[in-house]
Amino acid sequence: MFEPGSRSKQVATDRPAGRSLEIVAACRAALANADARHRQINRVLHIMATVQLRNPTEGRAYFDRKKASGRTSMEAMRALKRRLSDIIYRRVINDAAAAMATGPGRTPGNDY
């Protein structure tokens, strides 16, 4: 019997049984693809962070500041990766905004 506040019982009876299996399979496939993309992005961020640490860069200074504030090496590395991902995200957003402003097929400064 359906009880107030128990949504799971109501949802289970609202959809046909065969269709729900298709939906679950599609969701699992989408999540598997998303996991693969996340692994690729995380790998690239890790490579970027290690390169930053090898050289005297802003990233190295950021890592050293985090270590000096009492964070462990892993925590400082995680913070550096987050900083790099924020920088990349900002760049992507700014590039997309610039592309929208110039229109399709146009680049800034390329006037005919």
> Are 37 and 45 in contact, with CB atoms under 8 Å apart?
no
Looking at residue 13, its pLDDT comes to: 53
**Domain-wise residue ranges, the chain:** 7-102
Looking at residue 1, its pLDDT comes to: 46
Could you read off the pLDDT tens digit of each residue along the chain, which spans 112 residues?
A: 445 555 555 555 555 555 666 777 777 776 677 777 788 889 999 999 999 999 999 999 999 999 999 999 999 999 999 999 999 999 999 988 888 877 666 666 655 5
CA distance 60 to 80: 9
pTM of the model: 0.61
Q: Is 3 exposed, middle or buried (0-12, 13-18, 19+ CB in 10 A)?
A: exposed
